[in-house]
Structure 1
């Protein structure tokens, strides 16, 4: 059994963190800072941490005006003799957001932190501190690892509904006391306006909190920034962010549904005046980097990337993929030669190299799209495919060729403990891939677990493509399309790795935390 207590490692902190979250409610919903405000700087959008390692972590905050970011850390909530970190000056260039890297931290320890925002002209004038906590990655195997994952937030027009208590799923995830949250993409729906109300099938009315930036599709940098600010209006999310570090990736809706590099939006789509997807992507990428703490991506920098590996101690490495930025154009997926694929050659070679050098018991491949589930793309009036599978159960074609190359590599290099986690399709399921069922047979069996949405429309189960021999062992999905969060079908997943046995237990859970499906995987195997 794991030697880490469950639940309650952060339990004693929740009262103070809840008070902090309530104290820092935004005074104007989603509004941009006003330079003429009197008083002291305020961190109304809360705090968050990300990409935590054995000795470091990133702390994020947003101010309501120009301010200097200061972070203090302590081993206890008392903050006696705190260690102080001077962060960046927060200004309009980053939408008043900023990240400070904490380093030289002790491994496997609970770190308490508080963020102060100081007046740039008078450092003695600081706003009310906002507190948070996180646990650095342990170096001892016996500590175990627990994390949660999901994706797809505020999609299909289903926004923050105060009548239902907002994004309640975050409270259920927090109760599991995870070491981190793997946010599997579609962190915002920049292409999905949030109306004031929506009619529900039973005749009742769904009511949204709305903002100006969410009244239309995002095109300008200000509108993309407003999409990320919108979600932070939810108190459940702010409270969760103060307790649980994030490992985040993106997918399509941070920019536009089913986008790919070089795409041009049709003239018939009157929602967009900017037709160049590459222009929209650059603005979305900047806002994404401003609103999440990501170690490999700095706001406004030309260099940087979303894909990376986060080493979580001897039990776990997390390989975060970017299946959006380097892909080829969406097509029917019947190409017999496809060197670019969904990852691009450079990212594929990086992934193979990092998997081969990993010494962790488990290698989680965090994919923002599924492998064997067919995700169609009709946005251009053609029968294209959006993900990897194209519905032909025969030999690999199109983007499947790249996945086949990766699976073959894992087999022949005898890489143990690979598991795929994803979201995207707005239902939850578990697929087991087996070469004896497959058209392509040069790989070892593996599991792919799907969760989500966090808070968006739910959709029926996707069709399976037989190329890699998937068997759907479990699925929960509605029979109708775009079922609102009021109708249920909101999901997240949990992964618990035992420090003694090394066993990985995967649980698929409903919005309230109810366990729907459990699978225990054994360590040290190339396939299972």
Structure 2
């Protein structure tokens, strides 16, 4: 499957690379806060990106440097002969000059070339230079197969864009694999991690960061959350990637604050914050996320107004995007014998069960922003609390494990096959196989959970396993010390390749340069593999 022919795609990428070169920021921007020159016409200095692409639709995003009308043109060719035009929103200060346009009625399984034009709202004849991008719509033909990547954790622990090492180089390695889409599994920003100009490395060297005013402190205001998203878009590699590969995005904790949950207050011991309400901070963070990320359910006018959703990717794949932050209960010791709210909330759990039962795809990928069987502590306020599902007790399900047990039991008894869990969060890469014969709770069918990340953040030692659902760690690569910088390696992404003929799913865990660390081939329709 990895060697499948892709007629015309390579030339598309070469063209996209050339076009995206126009997005490169001046070298001076890599040494200081952005200060784009303001010409007489609107400019899209932050590039373009596409998201939530389906067989016949997709979202296109852009940010202007001033008020502008967004116009998108699409074509089957890079020459843009006979383009189709889409009139998008007015970009103004209310959305920080960002906007998305939904493209509908697209042909399935085709390469879509698009360009975004920004017009002066007072004089439509005055427009800026168009910015181009491309994506493939989902194929409805099984034999075409599906290839996608996933990872998360960008610019965490103070490790930001380092011009000395070429910035976020992992994005170029991912682009070379020509994925149909990228699943960003959370921690797309680190609103709680300020970035300084330099950071000391263990070998005596210095890590040098691009810095901006908004990244000099923890994010509290809407402007500061917006600035966190703009920070990452200073990276050439990321903007090139965005122009070539559509994204399915979800969030986790660091879009707001480490290990946050609804109703929480920032403790008085954290003097960095003047705003103490996590509900207030989360609302501002979600608004910035919706402005800077093309998510279909969060765009203005969307009926759902929520993060969780299912993206149907043809006959081979459905992607179930979870939100394990917005509806969870408080982090605790996780020893409750009754816990209906859990980590998903009852409404999201019922939605997930309903959509899994409806799915006719060969594979059902559950995009989980947190792992199931890895213990993720939350040691705040002197308590032994936990941030994810597992709490280290290998016995019968307790706390949030009760909700996961209910879901796993449902999958088994409804005879739903092809469920695979993908996650990030823990800043190392691993593969876990869950087997009822090893578990305290055994009423489920075996399944796999694959972990990848970070993209550009500190790496951490392996999380402990919780035996409740019988996980066995089949592969692991993690440092032995905490917060290893990207200069020390341990930056990862994962690849999923589904063959159109056999239906086999091949999962590869890769390092930053694309080197394959681990490969697992899964057979469709089977259990116990």
Structure 1 length-normalised TM: 0.97
1: CA distance, partners of 2:277 / 2:166: 38
Cα deviation, residue 301, structure 1: 7.9
> 1:9 and 1:366, CA in 2 relative to 1: closer, same or farther beyond 3 A?
farther
SS at match of 2:12: helix
Deviation at residue 378 of structure 1 after TM alignment: 1.0
The CA RMSD measured in Å over matched residues stands at: 1.6
Distance in 1 between the 2:498 and 2:375 partners?
A: 30
Map 1:393-408 → 2, pairs under 5 A: 393-408=394-409
**Change over 3 Å in CA distance of 1:417–1:303 after alignment to 2:** closer
SS of the counterpart of 2:318? strand
Mapped to 2, the partners of 1:3 and 1:202 lie a distance apart of 40
Q: Any conservation in 1 of the 2:70–2:91 contact (CA below 8 Å)?
A: yes
Relative to structure 1, the CA distance from residue 514 to residue 2 in structure 2 (aligned partners, 3 Å threshold; closer, same or farther) is closer
Separation in 1 of the partners of 2:369 and 2:261?
Answer: 14
Per the alignment, in what secondary structure is the counterpart of residue 242 of structure 1?
helix
Aligned to 2:472: 471
Partner of 2:429: 428
The aligned residue for residue 173 of structure 1 is 174
User: In the TM superposition, what is the alpha-carbon distance from 1:417 to its structure 2 partner?
Assistant: 0.2
Q: Which runs of 4+ in 1 moved over 4 A?
A: 1-4, 26-34, 299-303
Structure 2 match to 1:16:
15
Counterparts of 1:139 and 1:306, CA distance in 2:
25
SS of residue in 1 equivalent to 2:154: coil
The answer to whether the aligner puts 1:520 opposite 2:528 as a matched pair is no
Matches within 5 A, 1:377-526: 377-526=378-527
Question: For structure 2, which runs of at least 5 residues remain unmatched after alignment?
Answer: none
Question: In structure 1, what is the equivalent of residue 189 of structure 2?
Answer: 188
Distance 1:138 1:38 in 2: 41
Q: What is the 5 A alignment of 1:18-167? A: 18-26=17-25, 31=34, 37-167=38-168
* Structure 1 residue 274, shift from structure 2 partner: 0.2
Whether the aligned pair in 2 keeps the contact of 1:286 and 1:299 (CA below 8 Å) is no
1:225 matched residue in structure 2:
226
Conserved 8 A contact 1:286-1:300:
no
The change in CA–CA distance for 1:173 and 1:20 in structure 2 (over 3 A counts) is same
- What residue number does 1:296 align with? 297
TM-score normalised by length of structure 2: 0.97
Q: Name the residue aligned to 1:370.
A: 371
Q: Which residue of 1 aligns with 2:316?
A: 315
Aligned length: 525
Structure-1 separation of matches of 2:8 and 2:205: 40
Superposition deviation, residue 526 in structure 1 = 4.4
Q: Return 374-383 or 416-425, whichever deviates more.
A: 374-383
Q: 1:162 to 1:205 in 2, by over 3 A?
A: same
- Write the distance in 2 (CA, Å) between the matches of 1:527 and 1:510: 28
Matches within 5 A, 1:264-283: 264-283=265-284
1:25–1:45 contact (8 Å) kept in structure 2: no
Q: Is the CA contact 2:432–2:450 (under 8 Å) kept in the aligned structure 1?
A: yes
Residues 493, 508 of structure 1: 8 Å contact kept: yes
Give me the whole-angstrom Cα distance separating, in 1, the residues matched to 2:3 and 2:508: 20
Query: Which residue is 1:5 aligned to?
Result: 5
Match of 1:326 in 2: 327
- Asked whether the equivalents of residues 23 and 239 of structure 2 are also in contact (C-alpha less than 8 Å), the reply is no
Per-residue deviation, 1:76: 0.4
